[in-house]
């Protein structure tokens, strides 16, 4: 049997957590998705709307490992929060 590799965990700080909560409340879903089964490479997706009828707004062209993908998703949540929080 193979040995499982531990993935480095990304913990959001307080500002990123506040931005993430704002995105959830405003139906903006920013998540990571594996590009292929068991590839351990991820893209960041931005979707709007309520589940199950979300619309894909965009996704990153670059591929990231798990830690970097979570970090990039946190960057996107902060971006959307800073851009739209005062307008909603």
Instruction: Please report whether residue 1 resides in a domain.
Output: no
Supply the mean pLDDT for the chain.
Answer: 92
pLDDT value of residue 88: 56
In a domain, 71, yes or no: yes
Is 50 among the domain residues? yes
Structural domains counted in the chain: 1
In a domain, 2, yes or no: no
**Does some domain include residue 46?**
yes
Report the distance separating Cα 10 and Cα 86, nearest Å. Answer: 28
pLDDT at 74: 96
Does the residue 48 lie in any domain? yes
Provide the whole-model pTM. 0.85
User: What is the pLDDT at residue 35?
Assistant: 95
Q: Percentage of the chain surpassing pLDDT 90?
A: 78
Q: Is residue 16 part of a domain?
A: no
Tracing tokens 């851009």 back to the chain, one arrives at: 83
Is residue 41 over pLDDT 90? yes
Domain annotation covers residue 4: no
Domain of residue 53 covers: 37-88
Which pLDDT score, from 0 to 100, does residue 1 have? Answer: 58
Q: What distances in angstroms separate CA 85 from CA 34, 60, 69, 79, one per listed residue?
A: 29, 22, 23, 10
């Amino acid at each position: 049997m193979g040995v499982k590799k531990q993935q480095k965990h990304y913990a959001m700080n307080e500002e990123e957590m506040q931005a993430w909560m704002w995105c959830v409340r405003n139906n903006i879903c920013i998540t990571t998705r594996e590009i292929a089964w068991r590839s351990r490479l991820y893209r960041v997706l931005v979707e709007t709307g309520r589940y199950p009828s979300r619309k894909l707004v965009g996704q990153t062209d670059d591929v990231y490992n798990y830690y970097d993908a979570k970090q990039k998703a946190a960057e996107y949540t902060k971006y959307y929060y800073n851009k739209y929080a005062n307008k909603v």
